[in-house]
């Protein structure tokens, strides 16, 4: 009888122990979930703060670029491509900044090679973000190209001049001017005249488009000064004019007629051009003109 009583007592306690163990397990899981939620909330809060900061940076830049994109600047209107009001690449060209840690943007000292590579990638991320939106995908080619340069030294794709459109060239010049005239963690803001001198210097070796630079500086109140152009291979203005006609398949007599020079002079120009750029055929000369953006077609 005593044995049966003990067995019955143990049987009645078994469900209680199982429930306690299950209850403990559930409490532990709940505590883990709360901990994870707290961590997630903290990350979201930090991300929200970063995005808010980047949004303010973008708004400030848009305000400055809007000042440059003034209706009083005929040069800006002539150079800018017709883009609907809802599709302004100036408002989207730095979306990729959100993919780079704010600690890098705020670094006061010299950036490491790895950090600099992360910054260079922000233009690539801008392209990726915009292309995922049916409404904004058309902006991607221009908005992601504001750090490309005419001589192919830009980023993220190091494209040649022939692949940089007119709007991208204009946006690049405006972005550089704005960046120079605002303070950065590693340097103070440049005075407008000093920033203008930097743009003029950047246009001479062919990094920035000289017409775009002239338009931006005029819109910023620096006047419409003619910026001397340094063409590749030491070509002169006249030689570039001849090269453009050669690239378009014009014979020597037609070149002479178009430029109001003698056929002999035109032939001498062609010979000198071939020597300077290191080619021996019209096809190679045309390719050189295209690769260096000398055809004047910037649509």
Which CATH number covers residue 136?
1.10.3210.10
pLDDT value of residue 106: 86
Same domain, 156 and 249: no
**E strand segments, 91-236:** none
In the prediction, which pLDDT does 190 show? Answer: 93
Residue where a domain stops, chosen among 168, 191, 219: 219
Is 12 within the bounds of a domain? Answer: no
Higher pLDDT, 12 or 263: 263
Dump pLDDT digits (tens) for 48-64: 555 555 455 455 555 45
What was the pLDDT predicted at 176?
Answer: 92
The domain in which residue 113 lies consists of 52-219
Closest CA relative to residue 227, chosen from 207, 205, 206, 203: 203
Same domain, 124 and 263: no
Residue 214 has pLDDT above 90, yes or no: no
Q: What is the pLDDT of residue 298?
A: 41
Per-residue pLDDT, 92: 64
The pLDDT score that the predictor gives to residue 246 is 92
Does 192 reside within a domain?
yes
Considering only CA atoms, which of 196, 191, 230, 232 is closest in space to residue 214?
A: 196
**Same domain (yes/no): 167, 278:** no
Q: How confident is the model at residue 193 (pLDDT cuts 50, 70, 90)?
A: very high
Residues 210 and 87 occupy one common structural domain = yes
Residue 44 included in any domain: no
- pLDDT confidence tier of residue 238, bands split at 50, 70 and 90: confident
Is 120 in the same domain as 249? no
3-state secondary structure of 187: strand
* CB contact at 8 A, 175 and 169: no
Residue 24 within any structural domain of the chain: no
**Has residue 215 got a pLDDT over 50?**
yes
pTM across the whole model: 0.57
Q: Are 220 and 177 within 8 A, CB to CB? A: yes
- Residue ending a domain, choose from 219, 247, 273: 219
pLDDT per residue as tens digits for the range 241-270:
899 999 999 999 999 888 888 888 899 899
* DSSP summary character for residue 184: B
Lowest mean pLDDT among 28-42, 115-129, 149-163, 234-248: 28-42
Q: Are residues 198 and 252 in the same domain?
A: no
Task: Please tell me whether residue 82 adopts helix, strand or coil conformation.
Answer: coil
**Mean pLDDT score, 181-202:** 90
The answer to whether residues 60 and 149 belong to one domain is yes
Q: Residue 99 class from Cβ within 10 Å (0-12 exposed, 13-18 middle, 19+ buried)?
A: middle
Specify if 278 maps to a domain.
yes
Is 210 found in the same domain as 242? no
- Which residues fall within 8 angstroms of residue 294, CB to CB, at 6 or more apart? 231, 232, 235, 240, 243, 244, 247, 288
Kindly state whether residue 26 falls inside one of the protein's structural domains: no
Q: Is the pLDDT of residue 93 over 60?
A: yes
Q: Token pair 């010049």 is at which residue?
A: 173
The answer to the question of residue 16 being in a domain is no
CATH of the domain at 261: 1.10.10.10
More confident residue, 266 or 24: 266
CA 4, CA 189: separation in Å to the nearest integer?
Answer: 91
Q: Which of 219, 248, 283 is the last residue of a domain?
A: 219
Taking the C-alpha atoms of residue 21 and residue 10, their distance in angstroms, rounded to an integer, is 16
**Together in a domain, 191 and 251:** no
Claim to verify: residue 238 and residue 212 sit in the same structural domain:
no
> Region 89-117: what's the mean pLDDT?
82
Q: Are residues 126 and 215 in the same domain?
A: yes
What's the mean pLDDT when you consider all of the chain?
76
Q: Is the pLDDT of residue 79 over 80?
A: no
Q: Is the pLDDT higher at 83 or at 18?
A: 18
Question: How big is the chain by its Cα radius of gyration, in Å?
Answer: 31
Give the pLDDT score at 82.
36
The label of the residue with tokens 């062919």 reads 206
Degrees to nearest 5, angle at CA 144 with 191 and 151: 70
Q: If you average pLDDT over residues 288-293, what whole number do you get?
A: 85
User: What is the structure's pLDDT at 70?
Assistant: 46
Model confidence pLDDT, tens digit, residues 135-189: 888 888 888 888 999 888 899 998 888 788 888 888 899 889 988 998 988 889 9
- pLDDT for 177 equals 92
Does any domain span residue 227? no
Our count of domains for the chain comes to 2
Looking at the structure, do residues 122 and 188 belong to the same domain, yes or no? yes
């Amino acid at each position: 009888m005593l044995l049966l009583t003990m067995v019955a007592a143990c049987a009645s306690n078994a469900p209680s122990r199982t429930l306690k163990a299950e209850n403990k397990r559930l409490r532990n899981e709940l505590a883990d979930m709360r901990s994870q939620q707290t961590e997630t909330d903290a990350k979201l809060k930090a991300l929200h703060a970063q995005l808010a900061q980047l949004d303010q940076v973008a708004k400030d830049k848009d305000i400055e670029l809007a000042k440059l994109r003034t209706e009083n600047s005929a040069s800006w209107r002539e150079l800018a491509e017709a883009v609907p009001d809802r599709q302004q690449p100036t408002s989207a060209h730095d979306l990729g900044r959100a993919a780079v840690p704010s600690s890098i943007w705020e670094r006061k000292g010299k950036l490491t090679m790895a950090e600099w590579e992360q910054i260079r990638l922000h233009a690539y991320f801008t392209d990726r973000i915009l292309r995922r939106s049916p409404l904004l995908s058309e902006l991607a080619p221009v908005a992601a190209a504001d750090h490309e340069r005419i001589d192919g030294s830009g980023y993220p794709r190091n494209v040649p001049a022939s692949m940089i459109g007119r709007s991208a060239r204009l946006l690049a010049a405006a972005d550089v001017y704005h960046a120079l005239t605002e303070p950065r963690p590693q340097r103070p803001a440049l005075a407008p005249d000093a920033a203008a001198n930097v743009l003029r210097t950047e246009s001479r070796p062919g990094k920035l488009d000289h017409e775009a630079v002239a338009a931006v500086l005029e819109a910023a109140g620096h006047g419409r000064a003619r910026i001397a152009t340094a063409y590749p291979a030491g070509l002169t203005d006249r030689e570039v004019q001849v090269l453009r006609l050669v690239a378009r398949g014009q014979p020597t007599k037609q070149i002479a007629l178009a430029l109001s020079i003698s056929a002999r002079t035109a032939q001498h120009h062609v010979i000198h051009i071939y020597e300077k750029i290191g080619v021996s055929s019209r096809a190679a000369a045309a390719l050189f003109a295209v690769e260096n953006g000398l055809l004047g077609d910037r649509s």
